[in-house]
Amino acid sequence: MDKTSVRDRVIEAADELFYGRGIGNVGVDAVRDAAGVSLRALYKEFPAKEDIVLAVLGLRHDMWTTGVRREVDGMTDPAARMLAVYDYLAVWFEEADFRGCGFINAFGELGSSSRRVAEAVREHKQSFQRYVEEIVAAGGGSRELAAQLAILAEGAQTTAAIAGTSDAAGVARSAAETLIGAAGLAG
């Protein structure tokens, strides 16, 4: 048997299924089957489907945070650090299984019926906004610029998912360059 924990196997299987098919279209039995665990073992780790959804959102938060920070940390110029967010988006949007932001998708499906999911989504989005504020402040920019850059990134995610192309990353990056230049922060 695979040495990966039951918890990790369930989260990984649920992530793939929820992201690919939608949370509402995937039952706990499908998650159990994909994870290769018993229903009893699944429910021991996750008493309710909502608990699985929250664990998947935790995984997605970690993946997003790690990916964006890796891209940003690879840059030294302050303006390039701000723009690196869009470079990360461009790569992500090209992935074969890209279906948009898992948090936006989860909020669209469950935000009105699950307070816990809505709170997890809001915290993730606020976390990203705080991170953009940190990057922008380190480069001498304002909170207003940070909010604008974060909204561009959010809009690009939604646009790319709906349009089915990665073009939104380049458009958002170009708009971000304009905003950074107008703020007098261009490298």
- For residue 9, is it within any domain? yes
- Whether residues 154 and 142 share a domain: the answer is yes
- Whether residues 178 and 133 share a domain: the answer is yes
- Whether residues 96 and 147 share a domain: the answer is yes
- Whether residues 104 and 63 share a domain: the answer is yes
- Whether residues 31 and 115 share a domain: the answer is no
- Whether residues 15 and 101 share a domain: the answer is no
Count of structural domains within the chain:
2
- For residue 105, is it within any domain? yes
Per-residue pLDDT, 1:
46
| Buried residues in 19-55 as b, exposed as e (16+ CB within 10 A) | beeebeebebeebbebbebeeebbeebbeebbebbbb
- For residue 103, is it within any domain? yes
- Whether residues 81 and 58 share a domain: the answer is yes
Domain that holds residue 16: 1-47
Output the domain CATH number for residue 64: 1.10.357.10
- Whether residues 72 and 152 share a domain: the answer is yes
- Whether residues 165 and 124 share a domain: the answer is yes
Output the domain CATH number for residue 4: 1.10.10.60
- Give the DSSP per-residue string, 110-165: HTTT-HHHHHHHHHHHHHHHHHHHHHHHHTT--HHHHHHHHHHHHHHHHHHHHHTS
- For residue 129, is it within any domain? yes
Model confidence band, residue 4 (pLDDT cutoffs 50, 70, 90): confident
- Whether residues 84 and 157 share a domain: the answer is yes
Q: What is the mean pLDDT of the chain?
A: 96
pLDDT, one tens digit per residue, over 93-134 is 999 999 999 999 999 999 999 999 999 999 999 999 999 999
- Whether residues 146 and 56 share a domain: the answer is yes
pLDDT, one tens digit per residue, over 130-176 is 999 999 999 999 999 999 999 999 999 999 999 999 999 999 999 99
Per-residue pLDDT, 3:
62
- Whether residues 9 and 38 share a domain: the answer is yes
- For residue 187, is it within any domain? no
